[in-house]
Amino acid sequence: MKKSIMSIALSLMMIMGMSGLAHSQSVAIINIADILENMQDYKAAQTQLDKLAETWQQEINAEFEQIKTMYNKYNAEQVLLSASEKQQREDDIIAREKSVRELQRMKFGPEGELFNKRKQLVEPIQDKVYNAVQEYADLHNIDIVLDKSSSSGLIFSNDKFDKTSDIKKMLGIR
């Protein structure tokens, strides 16, 4: 009798514990890349950044071409130059190359102008999307929002959890 009461009590505790698990977190899955790619401000910002990067890259390529010309000229005239003239030309080529590499770093480096321009143009758009996602999650009592466009390791998701179109509607994207 004592054993059956214990097993019934244990079963009840397990059932009560499981009922707590039955109230699990609500999940939504979105595709941030899809949302951003369909926003006109994001497309405009990306176009502006691409043009800027292309312009700067052309400038840098032109500088490297000039360095190549300097080097070719130096090689052709090397036999006619004195030791001090050779050293001067080599120093000039090296200095010019350092200068161009510095320009390249200033434009494209981790804290370069392109990075800062991207931050200036794209970050407000991303913030707008993230705020819409937060608002949507708050409005629909969603505990977890996953982005299926990132490499976060989402392997499978049921389409019923995909709320990308709802976020697009909130942002006025068709």
* Helix intervals (H) in the chain: 2-22, 32-37, 40-77, 83-108, 113-139, 164-171
Mean pLDDT of the region 135-148: 86
Beta-carbon count within 10 A of 39 CB? 19
What pLDDT sits at residue 89? 95
What pLDDT sits at residue 154? 60
Q: Is the pLDDT of residue 1 over 70?
A: no
The Cα–Cα gap between 76 and 152 comes to: 55
Q: Is the pLDDT of residue 143 over 60?
A: yes
The span from the first CA to the last CA of the chain, in angstroms, equals: 67
Out of 118-122, 123-127, 140-144, least confident range: 140-144
Higher pLDDT, 98 or 4: 98
pLDDT in tens, 30-85: 888 999 999 999 999 999 999 999 999 999 999 999 999 999 999 999 999 999 99
pLDDT band at 14 (very low <50, low <70, confident <90, very high): low
State the chain's mean pLDDT as an integer.
Answer: 84
pLDDT band at 120 (very low <50, low <70, confident <90, very high): very high
The Cα–Cα gap between 109 and 123 comes to: 18
pLDDT in tens, 147-159: 888 766 564 556 6
pLDDT band at 164 (very low <50, low <70, confident <90, very high): confident
